[in-house]
Amino acid sequence: MKLFRILLICFTLSVGLTAIPTKVDAQCAMCSLNAENSIQNGNTQGKGLNNGILFLLAAPFLIGGGVAILWYKKFRHKETKSPIF
């Protein structure tokens, strides 16, 4: 039960911290230059490119979290109480 609380707290913190919007540029050099030039000219294509990359980055973390939860549920040891006669 104690491990479950720790995992629940870690999961809640990680979801909460990833929900906080931050400015992250996850692009290669060519895409970054192209996005900067489009923003300077008044287009919003660079922001859309950044958002798309971050959206695609979230999928592996969600899949990994789901696998971790399933693994935890399958292999956790349930406390067995011995009957007292």
Query: Would you state the pLDDT for residue 42?
Result: 73
Provide the residue ranges of all domains of the chain, joining segments of one domain with +. Answer: 24-58
pLDDT digits (tens, 9 = 90+) for 32-79: 777 777 777 777 777 777 788 788 888 899 999 999 999 988 888 666
For 17, 51, 53, the CA distances from 33, given in Å and listed in that order, are 28, 16, 15
> Tell me, what's the pLDDT at 64?
93
- Confidence (pTM): 0.42
